[in-house]
């Protein structure tokens, strides 16, 4: 199994956040047990999840502590007794009968009874706080899962686009290479002279399909506002074959030019950016005739 490809597939993130069906979850656990690299990746994702929970952690509302202390302090008063849950309140004393008077015995409640009331009140308040916190973390978890799923979907879409672009570029390159292998193509090496000595450009022309390609192996970057232009030489006239780029970044690229109906040779001039309808012969850089 390609471990790195499995780790980068996104299934481990779904496993850590409980998004997988039981069957896939069991499969991941089996793979985790077999491959230490996968196990380490899962542990790292679990740590990331813990960091996220800590980042958004919320302390229990401060009011819970104040309410509990108020109840404990005022428990002996009627107002404090009324604030207790109904099941923990002290029953109101029964009305005395006139026929059989009963002597009221004043005394404090037993310590055990008061302790249990305090404990019960604390449990109820803590339970309410727990409900609030659980709802908060559940909402955060749901929001995180939603954002995580959106990120996974965006990543998958980006990967698909990259793969499609790579495939398209490969197909275009293969098409160009197949065309250049056609024996009908004529290869013309253009070389500089005088001030442009050392400059080299190869032109590839197919007299049948009229297609023209160009490789600027050794051609410097043109000055700002200038651009190289290719011309097909036919009947002592120069016919526009399109502008192209120079410089080191273009040295290995195959640039497709305008079709040439006929040509006895090719020439390159330096023109204003965008090209010209007529060549500037004072800016002639390279030229060559087609060998018969």
Residues 67 and 168 in one domain: yes
**Look-up: residue for tokens 């659980």?**
134
- Chain centroid offset of residue 77 CA: 62
181 in any annotated domain: no
pLDDT digit string (tens) for 279-291? 999 999 999 999 8
Residues 157 and 69 in one domain: yes
Question: Which among 202, 212, 227, 214 is positioned nearest to 258, based on CA atoms?
Answer: 212
- Choose between 259 and 18: higher pLDDT: 259
| pLDDT of 44 | 87
What total number of domains does the chain contain?
3
Buried b (16+ CB within 10 A) or exposed e, 6-21: bbeebbbbbbbbeebe
| pLDDT of 109 | 47
Residues 8 and 29 in one domain: yes
Name the pTM for this structure. 0.44
99 in any annotated domain: no
| pLDDT of 277 | 95
Most confidently modeled range among 28-37, 85-94, 113-122, 177-186 = 28-37
Query: Would the pLDDT of 49 be above 80?
Result: no
| pLDDT of 162 | 77
DSSP, res 238: E
Task: Using pLDDT thresholds of 50, 70 and 90, give the confidence band for residue 122.
Answer: low
37: containing domain: 3-55
41 in any annotated domain: yes
SS3 content of the chain, % helix, strand, coil (to 5): 50, 20, 35
Tell me how far apart the alpha carbons of residues 233 and 221 are, in angstroms, rounded to a whole number.
24
| pLDDT of 78 | 64
pLDDT digit string (tens) for 204-254? 999 999 999 999 999 999 999 999 999 999 999 999 999 999 999 888 888
Per the CB < 8 A criterion, the answer to whether 194 and 286 are in contact is no
Tell me how far apart the alpha carbons of residues 64 and 215 are, in angstroms, rounded to a whole number.
78
């Amino acid at each position: 199994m390609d471990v790195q490809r499995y780790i980068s597939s996104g299934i481990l993130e779904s496993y850590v956040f409980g998004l997988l069906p039981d069957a896939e979850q069991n499969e991941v656990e089996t793979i985790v047990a077999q491959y230490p690299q996968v196990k380490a990746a899962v542990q790292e994702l679990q740590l990331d999840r813990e960091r996220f929970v800590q980042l958004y952690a919320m302390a229990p509302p401060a009011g819970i502590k104040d309410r509990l202390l108020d109840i404990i302090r005022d428990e002996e008063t009627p107002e404090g007794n009324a604030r207790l849950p109904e099941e923990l309140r002290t029953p109101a004393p029964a009305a005395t009968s006139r026929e059989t008077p009963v002597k009221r015995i004043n005394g404090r409640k037993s310590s055990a009874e008061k302790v249990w009331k305090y404990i019960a009140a604390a449990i109820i308040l803590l339970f309410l706080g727990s409900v609030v916190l659980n709802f908060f973390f559940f909402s955060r978890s749901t929001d995180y899962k939603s954002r995580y799923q959106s990120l996974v979907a965006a990543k998958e879409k980006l990967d698909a686009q990259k793969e499609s672009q790579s495939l398209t570029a490969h197909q275009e390159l293969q098409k160009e290479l197949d065309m250049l292998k056609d024996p009908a193509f004529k290869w013309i090496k253009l070389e500089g002279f005088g001030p442009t000595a050392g400059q080299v450009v190869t032109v590839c022309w197919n007299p049948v399909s009229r297609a023209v390609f160009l490789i600027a192996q050794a051609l410097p970057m043109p000055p700002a506002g200038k651009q190289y232009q290719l011309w097909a030489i036919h009947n002592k006239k120069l016919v526009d074959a399109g502008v192209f780029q120079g410089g080191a970044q273009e040295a290995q690229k195959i640039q497709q030019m305008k079709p040439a109906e006929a040509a006895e040779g090719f020439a390159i001039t330096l023109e204003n950016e965008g090209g010209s309808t007529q060549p500037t012969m004072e800016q002639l850089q390279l030229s060559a005739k087609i060998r018969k």
